[in-house]
Amino acid sequence: MNLGMPEILVILVVALLIFGPKKLPELGRSLGQSIREFKRGAQEIREELEKTVDVREEPKPKPVSEASSKAPAVSEPQEERKA
């Protein structure tokens, strides 16, 4: 949505009437700071996502502990038959 010059002037006049000439510069500064903070945060998130996507590490193999490698294979229990 594009705002033309008449729309911007109407918004500024309404803001001037509502907030007064003393508070308007202060509100403008705080609005500018908020927009800068938002852009900075969005850029940081974008950079983090790009790092995450770019880093393509192969999964590291899990170390095999000595106890599990020396343990005998477990077989299924056999049912005892009564004759």
Q: Which tens digit of pLDDT belongs to each residue from 16-36?
A: 899 888 898 898 899 999 999
CA gap 40, 47 in Å, rounded = 11
Asked if the model's pLDDT at residue 7 lies above 70, the reply is yes
Calculate mean pLDDT across residues 64-69: 58
pLDDT for the residue 33: 96
CA gap 13, 32 in Å, rounded = 19
More reliable by pLDDT, 59 or 52? 52
Asked if the model's pLDDT at residue 79 lies above 80, the reply is no
Tell me the whole-structure pTM to 2 decimals. Answer: 0.48
- Select from 23, 30, 22, 24 the least CA-distant residue to 11: 24
pLDDT for the residue 29: 93
